[in-house]
């Protein structure tokens, strides 16, 4: 059975393993891996940036019954 080589495959790897993959790819000829490295970086960048953001403080919600009593 021949599979479509453009079929998306979703992987979930820890950051350390992604860095190992990128390091291994960096040893290959540029013209062969540049697009793949760029795509990995494009998909990873928003996740890494989100992880670096400080947590947003939660605001206390006032329940309806507390509002009615006031």
Report the pLDDT value the prediction gives residue 20, as an integer from 0 to 100.
98
- 4-58 pLDDT tens trace: 999 999 999 999 999 999 999 999 999 999 999 999 999 999 999 999 988 888 8
Indicate whether 58 belongs to any domain. no
What's the CA gap between 47 and 30, in Å, rounded?
Answer: 25
Indicate whether 45 belongs to any domain. yes
**Cα 16 from chain centre:** 13
Indicate whether 60 belongs to any domain. no
Indicate whether 21 belongs to any domain. yes
Question: Taking a C-beta distance cutoff of 8 angstroms, is the pair 18, 40 a contact?
Answer: yes
The parent domain of residue 46 ranges over: 12-52
Q: Is the pLDDT of residue 60 over 90?
A: no
Question: Taking a C-beta distance cutoff of 8 angstroms, is the pair 32, 43 a contact?
Answer: no
Indicate whether 57 belongs to any domain. no
Indicate whether 30 belongs to any domain. yes
Report the pLDDT value the prediction gives residue 31, as an integer from 0 to 100.
98
Domain count, the chain: 1
């Amino acid at each position: 059975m021949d599979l479509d080589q453009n079929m998306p495959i979703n992987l979930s790897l820890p950051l350390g393993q992604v860095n190992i993959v990128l390091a291994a790819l960096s040893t290959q000829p540029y013209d062969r891996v540049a697009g793949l490295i760029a795509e990995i970086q494009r998909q990873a960048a928003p996740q890494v940036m989100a992880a670096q953001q400080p947590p947003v403080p939660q605001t206390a919600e006032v329940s309806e019954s507390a509002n009615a009593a006031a």
